[in-house]
Structure 1
Amino acid sequence: MPPISELCTIQHKDVSDAAAIKAKNLKSTPKREENLPELTAAYKTIISSLGEDSEREGLLKTPERASKAMLFFTKGYQQSVEEVLNDAVFSEDHDEMVLVKDIEMFSMCEHHMVPFYGKVSIAYMPQGKILGLSKLARIVEVFSRRLQVQERLTKQIAQAVFDAVNPAGVAVFIEGVHMCMVMRGVQKIKSSTITSTTLGSFKENADLRKEFFDQVQN
């Protein structure tokens, strides 16, 4: 076996190499902000194509402001579930339903690129592991801050929770209001869209599924 001093040198080198690789990967990953000039030019074209004067005082800074806003609305493309969980998975002997209701959600419809918003409720049945409660809201942010359809969003949230803690079951319920229905098209101001996904025990056990839906709809 090598002497302790040599082992420390080897371990230090491994850590240094890992840090260098990580720094190199981060440096090589393009930041979306680098696309700001191109995005700004595109918004300027849109404004002109609408028949407006993109050079008038009120609209002069609008292309840049709109570009920065769109980058924020879609910031989920630069996030991952692993990143937002940040190892906040804990061992706990709890096997009853964990439910977080009415998580506020904002997203962008991929068909018309106008907002939809609403509330998300997430439940899971732990099997020895639990998530920090705020991390459920973080998972919602990762997937909602992208160009989306509500049906896919619901499934992605459910699968992410399932993958994170391997529970017996997961259930997700979303009620959303879509501006593409409110502002254009049929213009039904009071309409809302409900989607749900159930995995594992929530899908297999009708009583458990009913308990979840009763709680989120009350």
Structure 2
Amino acid sequence: MDCERSDGGEGGEAEVEDEFACAGMLRGSLASLHGTVERIFRVTFGIGDDDLSMDNNGQIWLKLRGRSNDVKSAKLFVKGLVNQEEQQELSYPGALHCIFSGARGLFMDCLTKSTSAHIVVGSTGFLLISGLAEPVVRAYSLITDMVERYEGTQSRRSETTDRGMGETLDSRRAFKSLVENWEDKHILDLLVLPALVKEILLELVIESGAWIKP
């Protein structure tokens, strides 16, 4: 059973409070990801306390509060953690590892918020994507598109194309500024990514509202 309550939000966007139930045995798993949910989706995430929140079926109530779209995305993510409808393993070229481990997790956070799928680096070159079926398909498709764009640029490098082909000065500066704000050991690998891959990453960051300094 789900219930939702709406109030006025900032900037005219409705703020909602959404409550739904899950099995009490999952409290520990949800608690371990509490901070992740709040950070990525910019919501307040409440997990029912002790026996007071548990109903006769051994379920606990979860509460999400924030802007409407953020709550909807967070709810899909949390329900995916609870239900695990789908799991997919996806391989990627080693040169793209900087995306999933660099910029202090910025791009992984944006991928998660954009798709509502749970994405984990299993080992270098492999991702495990899990959650509800639709978010998993969305994440798999988005990352596959990124991999194909990268591999396409590599196959053309011996011809007339180089890594900067098609990259405007503005987009190059924007991406450079972004990764420098979140500087870590992967910064050089990120800066030499093909323009077509940078384009996807910039779009993800902008759409997720994460274009801020750390």
> Normalized against structure 2, the TM-score is what?
0.20
> Normalized against structure 1, the TM-score is what?
0.20
- Quick check: which has more Rg, 1 or 2? 1
